[in-house]
Amino acid sequence: MKLEPVKVVHVYYKPMREKIFVGRLAFKDRKIFFEYDTRFIEIGLNLSPFKLPLKSGVIASNDFTFDGLFGVFNDSLPDGWGRLLLDRALIKHNINPGSLSVLDRLCFVGSNGMGALIYEPEAEQTQAIQHDSLDEIAEEIAEFQEHDNDKYVEDLLNLGGSSAGARPKILMNLEGEHWLIKFPSSTDPKDIGAIEYAYHLMAKDAGLDVPKAKLFPARKGFGFFGSRRFDKTDNSKVHMHTTSGLLHADHRMPSLDYETIMKATMHLTRNMKECEKQYRGCVFNVISHNRDDHSKNFSFLMDSNGVWCISPSYDLTFSSGPSAEHCSMIMGEGKNPGISQLLELAKISNIKKSEALKIIDEVISSVSKWSTFAKDAGISHASVKLIDSTIAKIIKESRKICY
């Protein structure tokens, strides 16, 4: 593994086989600059309309939310798990991770990032090992996390180094489909994968658009949650932008509220159906107590004609959020949001009250069937009980107002 510091990075958009030059990123005098290529401006694909709109000339970044990087490129950088792996691999090779600029980090992403952007010059990639099972990978993760053993760090980097999010994960091609598979971190409950699978089943039943997902069996324990990637097929990639990158909203702190998420959805998609889908997701998060609803857990996809929609919902699970509140407040309420906040949110989003009540009703009816989904996913008795009592309380409060 080598570090060759760069001052200029070339960005390409590669939705299909052909790559299209987007522009140049440069680092000078501790500042980051970007310039769109004239031909890309002519094509007219607005990859990041709010914070890096298409325009000619050099654009200097004056926002240090992401170490001065523009949000659309920051979305390509791994944060929690992927960043940790790269840093540990660098240390193993006597390279100080602190000496890397964000541009150097983009070179390590190269052509393996999520979404359709690629970065050159691409840093040398680590070697892949052939694995017989997910259990083998889980053991490598456990060695790394629990025993501080960096023997497998290059392999883990190869498997999941360009993924985002805190939890260990890998990106894998399974019979021609591209999957993202998550593993428990050392502090997670052992049945976290099964819980996420139960939430997936529940969200699907509640009418949310969710990717194809599976609970992959584990030799020991409850299984690994995986979902089919919605940004990649064998011969195409889709441009993906998180709300964090789109609005320069740091996901490590409560930096968003649902009012902003709904407004961003309307501005970007200009499609009421997309707003209703986003709204349904919000209702689901409130009713099912999914409070890890930070800015990186909402994304948008842009097709090759420049049309935006919201991505399928992901990272849906039982979670308590910072100080037991939602990361994103619902009309000013983070601790105990209920139907009145949800109806207020519908109102400012121009969703009719009758439609909002219908969505709320459908979500409540699916979340009420929690124990059935929990049984299908085979989660532990303790988790079933805890989640059951928490959501039962939310539903009871909601029904007082709904009916």
Q: Which H/E stretch holds residue 274?
A: helix 272-287
How many Å from the N-terminal Cα to the C-terminal Cα in the chain?
63
Question: CA-to-CA distance for 61 and 38, rounded, in angstroms?
Answer: 19
Structure tokens at 378: 């085979």
Which of 104, 315, 333, 344 touches ligand ADP (CB under 6 A)? Answer: 315
**114 near ligand ADP (CB under 6 A):** yes
Q: How many residues bind ligand ADP (CB under 6 A)?
A: 19
- Report the site for ligand ADP in 218-277 (rule: CB under 6 A): 227-231, 242
Residue nearest to Mg ion (CB): 315
**104 near Mg ion (CB under 5 A):** no
Q: Measured from the CB of residue 225, what is the shortest distance to Mg ion in angstroms?
A: 12
The contact mask relative to ligand ADP for 142-181 (x = CB under 6 A, - = no) is ---------------------xxxxx------------x-
Torsion over CA: 330, 335, 341, 346 (sign):
positive
Q: Which does 230 bind (CB under 5 to 8 A by kind): Mg ion, ligand ADP, none?
A: ligand ADP
Closest CA to 285 of 168, 394, 401, 358: 394
Question: CA-to-CA distance for 29 and 269, rounded, in angstroms?
Answer: 37
DSSP letter string over 208-251? -----EEEE--SSSS-EEEEE-SSB-SS-B-EEEEHHHHHT--T
Contact segment (CB under 5 A) with Mg ion among 97-105, 266-274, 307-315, 326-334 equals: 307-315
Q: Measured from the CB of residue 188, what is the shortest distance to Mg ion in angstroms?
A: 13
- CA 115-317-236 angle, to 5 degrees, is 20
**297 near ligand ADP (CB under 6 A):** yes
Residue nearest to ligand ADP (CB): 165
- Report the site for Mg ion in 127-186 (rule: CB under 5 A): 165
Distances (CA, A) of 101 to 6, 32, 106, 159, 355: 8, 10, 9, 23, 48
- Report the site for Mg ion in 277-306 (rule: CB under 5 A): 297
CB-nearer residue toward ligand ADP: 191 or 315: 315
Q: Measured from the CB of residue 243, what is the shortest distance to Mg ion in angstroms?
A: 12
Kindly list the residues in this chain that would bind Mg ion in the complex (CB under 5 A): 165, 297, 315
Kindly list the residues in this chain that would bind ligand ADP in the complex (CB under 6 A): 114, 163-167, 180, 211, 227-231, 242, 296-297, 299, 314-315
